[in-house]
């Protein structure tokens, strides 16, 4: 077993890790890490809000094993991708967001994730990709993302079902950041003024982007019952002039585990094992 080979902790020198609870469901495989790029199968599992509610939770022993694996590898990891298709994902991700990853540079989370809030758990993470939470509104609240990832450069949030709320949160955070830098853009002030009249709770905990963020990507989950926004309210030219590039991608279907694995392989390229 991989976990046994990694004991004791002094032997944990893994730099790149892809971890999933359901890589090839047709073969009934167990949770595993993988260094190879196997071609995807037609029945490769996908992560959607619906799949997370109908997929049985993992046994506590398995969740504890995955937690132990992440704990052992955490000190040396540089690239980490975790894809959990079961309803156990909030539990595992909540544990992950409280661990210390001192060398991690790239983090990809796929499943029903909570929000990172523990200060400085990802001190070197520059790229964070989140997929699977249908309504990530609150991700930027109170600056907890900045506390957890003080050097974050690129933030990608995909698989959003209620994208209008989250897009509005991002728009306000970007406007507040740019205006705080002393911008006199009338167009930005016009957008910022549209957020006046928010309730007391929203005003008390305004969204805040990490000051280092330069790229923001948002993508809705394709759904015939919703009409996601097609444009951003923040004027792109003033935002770009202040070093912030934002993209609202066309809605997409579900993301398969194999697609996530390929993205991890690309991020791991040249990083060494």
* pLDDT at residue number 133: 92
Q: What is the pLDDT of residue 100?
A: 94
DSSP conformation class of 10: G
* pLDDT score at 62: 86
Across all residues in the chain, what is the average pLDDT? Answer: 76
For residue 3, tell me if it sits in a domain: no
For residues 253-264, give the mean pLDDT: 83
**Distance in Å from the first CA to the final CA of the chain:** 18
| Domain membership of residue 68 as a residue range | 10-25+45-268
DSSP class of 43: T
* pLDDT the model gives residue 61: 86
Least confident of 24-33, 128-137, 234-243: 24-33
Q: Which of 40-44, 105-109, 148-152 shows the lowest mean pLDDT across its residues?
A: 40-44
Judge whether 237 and 17 are in contact, CB under 8 Å.
no
pLDDT in tens, 2-47: 666 656 555 568 899 999 886 554 444 334 444 333 333 333 344 4
Residue 158 lies in a domain: yes
* Number of domains into which the chain is organized: 1
Q: Which residues are registered as beta bridge partners of 106?
A: 79, 127
Q: Is residue 38 part of a domain?
A: no
Residue 173 in domain: yes
Asked if residue 183 is part of any domain, the answer here is yes
The more confidently predicted of residues 9 and 115 is 115
Of the listed ranges 55-59, 108-112, 258-262, the one predicted with least confidence:
55-59
Residue 32, domain member (yes or no): no
Cα separation values, 265 from 2, 11, 59, 111, Å: 20, 23, 28, 19
The 10s digit of each residue's pLDDT in 72-87 is 889 999 999 999 988 8
Q: pLDDT digit string (tens) for 162-220?
A: 777 888 888 888 877 777 766 555 555 555 555 544 444 555 678 888 889 999 999 98
Residue 144 lies in a domain: yes
* Average pLDDT value for residue range 107-121: 94
107, 127 Cβ separation under 8 angstroms: yes
Q: Measure the CA–CA gap between 215 and 202, rounded to whole angstroms.
A: 24
Average pLDDT of 48-62?
64
Is 273 within the bounds of a domain?
A: no
């Amino acid at each position: 077993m991989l976990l046994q080979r990694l004991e004791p902790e002094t032997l944990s020198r893994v730099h790149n890790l892809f971890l999933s609870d359901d890589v090839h469901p047709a073969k009934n495989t167990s949770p595993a890490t993988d260094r190879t790029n196997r071609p995807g199968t037609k029945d490769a599992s996908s992560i959607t809000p619906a799949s997370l509610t109908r997929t049985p939770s993992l046994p506590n022993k398995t969740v504890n094993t995955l937690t132990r694996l992440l704990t052992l590898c955490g000190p040396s990891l540089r690239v980490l991708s975790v894809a959990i298709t079961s309803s156990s994902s909030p539990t595992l991700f909540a544990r992950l967001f409280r661990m210390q990853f001192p060398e991690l540079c790239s983090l990809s989370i796929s499943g029903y994730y909570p929000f990172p809030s523990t200060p400085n758990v990802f001190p070197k993470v520059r790229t964070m990709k989140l997929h699977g939470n249908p309504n990530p509104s609150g991700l930027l609240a109170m600056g907890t993302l900045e506390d957890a990832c003080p050097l974050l450069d690129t933030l990608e949030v995909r698989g959003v079902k209620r994208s209008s709320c989250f897009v509005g949160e991002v728009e306000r955070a970007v406007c507040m950041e740019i205006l705080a830098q002393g911008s006199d853009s009338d167009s930005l002030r016009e957008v910022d003024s549209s957020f006046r009249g928010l309730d007391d709770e929203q005003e008390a905990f305004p969204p805040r982007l990490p000051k280092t963020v330069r790229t923001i990507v948002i993508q809705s989950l394709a759904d015939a019952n919703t009409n996601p926004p097609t444009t951003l309210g923040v004027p792109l030219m003033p935002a770009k002039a202040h070093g912030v590039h934002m993209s609202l991608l066309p809605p997409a279907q579900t993301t398969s585990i194999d697609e996530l694995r390929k993205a991890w392989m690309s991020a791991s390229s040249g990083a060494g094992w």
